[in-house]
Amino acid sequence: MANAAIKWNVKVKQSSGGSICGRARNSSAACITQSGITSISVKYRTLGKTGDTTTTSLTVASVVFDTLQTDAYWNKIDGVAVDTIGYNFRWNFGAAVFTEPVQYVVVVTFTPASGAVWWDEVLVDLLPLLA
């Protein structure tokens, strides 16, 4: 069962970077903190394809925040905040991660210091560049 409340349907322009943000909670429904997470990995592939999966390990201290954030990353959907509570997980990815103008499936796997591993899925729509 997924515990993380990740923003769904992230839209990114082709060959540009972006961010996936969310409010990740542990099995006790408390927001995760850096000390409570051992590792985080991200696995992604083109939607509808198999065998082209890429896995990346993330540095917990770089992607988990011990306090909820309500900065510009949380306000990216047409300049409107998702909510006033904020996020505690943010993966900033570079332009080389998603390159084809298709939809990608991203699976974020959280390994806690104690308890069961959990994951969440995010769909990333890559918008084509206009010529």
pLDDT, tens digit, 9 for 90 and up, residues 12-36: 777 788 888 888 988 888 999 999 9
Q: Provide the CATH number for the domain around residue 30.
A: 2.60.40.10
Q: Which residues contact 119 (CB under 8 A, 6 or more apart)?
A: 2, 4, 107, 108, 109, 110
- Tokens matching residue 106: 């991203």
Give the per-residue pLDDT at 64: 97
Q: How far apart are CA 90 and CA 6, in angstroms?
A: 9
Q: How far apart are CA 62 and CA 9, in angstroms?
A: 23
Residue 78's pLDDT band (cuts 50, 70, 90)? low
Q: Which residue has the higher pLDDT, 87 or 78?
A: 87
Task: Indicate the number of domains in the chain.
Answer: 1
Give the per-residue pLDDT at 100: 80
Residue 102: DSSP 8-state: S
Give the residue among 15, 16, 28, 32 at the shortest CA–CA distance from 109.
32
Q: Are 4 and 22 contacting, i.e. CB atoms less than 8 angstroms apart?
A: yes
Question: What SS3 class is residue 130?
Answer: coil
In what helix (H) or strand (E) does residue 63 lie, and over which residues does it extend? helix 60-63
Residue whose token pair is 């925040």: 65
How far lies 63's CA from each of 32, 52, 57, 91, 93, in Å? 11, 25, 11, 6, 11
| pTM > 0.95: yes or no | no
Range of the domain at 104: 5-127
- Tokens matching residue 92: 């900033």
